[in-house]
A and B are shown apart, each in its own frame.
Chain A
């Protein structure tokens, strides 16, 4: 199916280069067409198509240590906690934010104004078992946990996830908890079956720039700062990942909440006192040995990257966000340059500009489904203002303010 005319003009040479072929459609054409899906519209498919895992659950009596082992060993992002043993109701989840808070509390950081934390700390010092539930209920910034029936459509799920909810539980026909459906799993499903959904094709060659998604309001930390500060910042702000930058604001990598797992063994606590740059080495080295292949220090895209490339990279790297950095070949648009009035020579290659989250991606898919997506610019010289009031943007700010918290 040929691309619609207006979608091709948004391809810059860098956008083409990103997929290594002359057009997005050429790249897509090599994927097989799945012919076993009951609908050509992804939004009408039932959520059961995302069933690729079996739900892991704990109860209020599971200890912190056991819960952490499950979380880490099974490579989960969050572990739902049942109301009671044998119950079918999920009350909250245990995740890496909780593990991080627990670590900081045990090590002795006094960031917690909550007396209940002090109570937990005393329990730990007394050698008593602390349950995952006790820590999880103190977690701030937690989404209300949702459970949906198997008949829910992907379109309805996208609406939920586009609001920022990361994952939901899905029941089976009898109402028992069955599996988890997440932002990542819906994106993965759509990308892996992209040729089965012809309506999405015009969206594939749109650039990040023309879609006006992503947030330039990012918190970053200098590579020289200590790991303890990074963990404390994530605990205080509730964000899931900190960009680590050098003195020129170039992206070195990121420290995410999930990386706290490298610090929670007593042999590794010394890492808290090391620099963030050093911690990046530890994280990357460990990942590289386990996979048998080393990966790039950071996963990023450009303003000129296509939506297809962005989906492909998210799915291939299994990451939770892609950093928006300055491309070497694409001149920075005027709106980006205004951030760096003090720097000499304008914006540098690999300089951090923003971040595109899974919520942003799903918002695009949902808006496309509803017909409310921001249309491509009439001419390639018109630049949309970042921070314009588009209804599907989740974390945008009118003034771009890259903060370096010290």
Chain B
């Protein structure tokens, strides 16, 4: 398909209009052909911009591209969870696929736990496909693309990007490369864990309250990074009100220590951390002393159109410098999403 048609396709999708099923079939086929050549862990060099969950919030993703720069001028890694929950999962995912077709070397899409047949039937993408196309065909084509998405990316051999987190079955990056990824996300095992796990203030490993994947502590993360010569792990998967979060930094450990040592028997207020909630438009560069072994990047502002959070993208420079750009939800006018009216709600 000549590039002119791809540009038309991009324009349609950016305006929230679905493209014909025939176009979807070809798009999915072409992108599968590209993805099949990619490894479980895609190798990328900086500078690159890392983005977290999008969840069908198309207009906020367009805002993301305005903040971060257009592709291919800016290189992107998306950490998965493109679909479900938002009202424009179809357009969001197909737009990313179109960019992948047009600029395969400038955008990397890795798989999130929502890029799954089972999950999309519960959290909205399946229903949206049936509503917009009248059948489940488009959903099926997209699920086939999901199966081909990489499990992660490594930037400059120094930063591991995965959607969820670590796995007790994985101690080396080579083990990730050995996984047979071309399947539906399993309920357990290494591939499942990479897409489902969360960092947590514990030692070692714990079972996840999500019912899949694990919780892992700073000791696990630090050992993993050390063993694989990584600076840190960049992941998404968890809503963060501030748009981003640095886990297991020295500052966070110190705050936790101080909190635990406080005397709660008196009436005095505990020392509260200074409030520096980021606002849209902020640019935050992380000093080396404030870095942590794991970071969460969350790119869906005002999640589900009600959580009131900001979002971020992580601009990774040379020497793994981290800069977070904060952005908020696209204006209501632009997105056309109706604001939720509070309903006078009466108990029966």
A296→B210 contact, CB < 8 A: yes
Q: Is B122 an interface residue (CB 8 A)?
A: yes
**5 A-B pairs whose Cβ atoms sit less than 8 Å apart in the complex:** A20-B193, A289-B239, A291-B209, A295-B209, A296-B187
The smallest C-beta distance from B294 to any residue of chain A, in angstroms, reads 15
Q: Is A57 an interface residue (CB 8 A)?
A: no
The smallest C-beta distance from A165 to any residue of chain B, in angstroms, reads 26
The smallest C-beta distance from B127 to any residue of chain A, in angstroms, reads 7
B307 partner residues in chain A, CB cutoff 8 A: 289
The smallest C-beta distance from A358 to any residue of chain B, in angstroms, reads 16
Q: Is B189 an interface residue (CB 8 A)?
A: yes
Q: Is A258 an interface residue (CB 8 A)?
A: no
Q: Which of A277-330 contact B (CB under 8 A)?
A: 277, 280-281, 284-285, 288-289, 291-300, 309, 312-313, 315-319, 328
Q: Which of A1-43 contact B (CB under 8 A)?
A: 17-21, 27, 30-32
Q: Which of A267, A280, A291, A313 is B207 in contact with, Cβ under 8 Å?
A: A313
The smallest C-beta distance from A158 to any residue of chain B, in angstroms, reads 23
Alpha-carbon gap, A265 to B342, bound state (A):
13
Q: Which of A310-364 contact B (CB under 8 A)?
A: 312-313, 315-319, 328, 350
A293 partner residues in chain B, CB cutoff 8 A: 198, 209-210, 237-239
Q: Is A233 an interface residue (CB 8 A)?
A: no
Segment of B1-9, B98-106, B113-121, B264-272 in the binding face: B113-121
A295 partner residues in chain B, CB cutoff 8 A: 209-212
A21 partner residues in chain B, CB cutoff 8 A: 168, 205
A296 partner residues in chain B, CB cutoff 8 A: 187, 196, 210-212
Q: Is A103 an interface residue (CB 8 A)?
A: yes
Q: Is B317 an interface residue (CB 8 A)?
A: no
Q: Which of A240-290 contact B (CB under 8 A)?
A: 252-253, 264-267, 269, 277, 280-281, 284-285, 288-289
Q: Which of A68, A266, A284, A312 is B122 in contact with, Cβ under 8 Å?
A: A284
Q: Is B214 an interface residue (CB 8 A)?
A: yes
Q: Is A65 an interface residue (CB 8 A)?
A: yes
Q: Is A169 an interface residue (CB 8 A)?
A: no
Q: Is A148 an interface residue (CB 8 A)?
A: no
The smallest C-beta distance from B179 to any residue of chain A, in angstroms, reads 13
The chain B residue sitting closest to A293, CB to CB, is B238
The chain A residue sitting closest to B210, CB to CB, is A295
Alpha-carbon gap, A280 to B215, bound state (A):
25
Q: Is B123 an interface residue (CB 8 A)?
A: yes
Q: Is B124 an interface residue (CB 8 A)?
A: yes
The chain B residue sitting closest to A103, CB to CB, is B348
Q: Which of B85, B114, B198, B211 is A313 in contact with, Cβ under 8 Å?
A: B211
In the A-B complex, the 5 residue pairs with the smallest Cβ-Cβ separation, listed nearest first, are A20-B168, A30-B204, A292-B239, A296-B211, A316-B207
Interface residues in B, total, Cβ within 8 A? 45
Alpha-carbon gap, A291 to B209, bound state (A):
10
Alpha-carbon gap, A297 to B207, bound state (A):
16
A288 partner residues in chain B, CB cutoff 8 A: 123
User: A316-B215, A319-B211 are known contacts; what are 4 more A-B pairs with Cβ within 8 Å?
Assistant: A266-B346, A285-B123, A291-B209, A315-B207
B188 partner residues in chain A, CB cutoff 8 A: 17-18
The chain B residue sitting closest to A263, CB to CB, is B348
The smallest C-beta distance from A234 to any residue of chain B, in angstroms, reads 18
Q: Is A106 an interface residue (CB 8 A)?
A: yes
Q: Which of B113, B124, B207 is A312 in contact with, Cβ under 8 Å?
A: B207
A294→B204 contact, CB < 8 A: no
B57 partner residues in chain A, CB cutoff 8 A: none
A106 partner residues in chain B, CB cutoff 8 A: 348
The chain B residue sitting closest to A265, CB to CB, is B345
Given contacts A284-B123, A292-B239, A293-B238, contact A265 B167 (CB under 8 A): no
A266→B347 contact, CB < 8 A: yes
Interface centre among B167, B198, B209 (most CB of A within 10 A): B209
Q: Is B303 an interface residue (CB 8 A)?
A: yes
A20→B205 contact, CB < 8 A: yes
B211→A317 contact, CB < 8 A: yes
Alpha-carbon gap, A91 to B215, bound state (A):
42
B121 partner residues in chain A, CB cutoff 8 A: 252, 277
Q: A: which residues have CB within 8 A of B?
A: 17-21, 27, 30-32, 64-65, 68, 102-103, 106-107, 252-253, 264-267, 269, 277, 280-281, 284-285, 288-289, 291-300, 309, 312-313, 315-319, 328, 350
Q: Is B203 an interface residue (CB 8 A)?
A: yes
Q: Is B334 an interface residue (CB 8 A)?
A: no
A289→B347 contact, CB < 8 A: no
The chain A residue sitting closest to B347, CB to CB, is A65
The chain A residue sitting closest to B304, CB to CB, is A289
The smallest C-beta distance from B81 to any residue of chain A, in angstroms, reads 9
B345 partner residues in chain A, CB cutoff 8 A: 265-267
A294 partner residues in chain B, CB cutoff 8 A: 113-114, 119, 123, 210
A281→B122 contact, CB < 8 A: yes
Q: Is B39 an interface residue (CB 8 A)?
A: no
A285→B124 contact, CB < 8 A: yes
Q: Which of B114, B208, B240, B343 is A267 in contact with, Cβ under 8 Å?
A: B343
B209→A30 contact, CB < 8 A: no
Given contacts A265-B346, A288-B123, contact A17 B205 (CB under 8 A): no
B123→A299 contact, CB < 8 A: no
Alpha-carbon gap, A269 to B306, bound state (A):
22
B343 partner residues in chain A, CB cutoff 8 A: 267
Q: Which of B139-189 contact A (CB under 8 A)?
A: 167-169, 186-189
The smallest C-beta distance from A328 to any residue of chain B, in angstroms, reads 7
Alpha-carbon gap, A252 to B120, bound state (A):
12
B211→A281 contact, CB < 8 A: no
Q: Is B47 an interface residue (CB 8 A)?
A: no
Given contacts A17-B188, A20-B193, A281-B123, contact A264 B209 (CB under 8 A): no
B209→A318 contact, CB < 8 A: yes
Alpha-carbon gap, A65 to B212, bound state (A):
36
Alpha-carbon gap, A107 to B348, bound state (A):
9
B347 partner residues in chain A, CB cutoff 8 A: 64-65, 68, 264-266
B214 partner residues in chain A, CB cutoff 8 A: 20
Alpha-carbon gap, A280 to B167, bound state (A):
28
B196 partner residues in chain A, CB cutoff 8 A: 296
B211→A299 contact, CB < 8 A: yes
A319 partner residues in chain B, CB cutoff 8 A: 211
Alpha-carbon gap, A295 to B187, bound state (A):
12
The chain A residue sitting closest to B213, CB to CB, is A296
B114 partner residues in chain A, CB cutoff 8 A: 294
Q: Which of B200-230 contact A (CB under 8 A)?
A: 203-212, 214-215
Alpha-carbon gap, A35 to B318, bound state (A):
48
A20 partner residues in chain B, CB cutoff 8 A: 167-169, 193, 205, 214
The smallest C-beta distance from A267 to any residue of chain B, in angstroms, reads 5
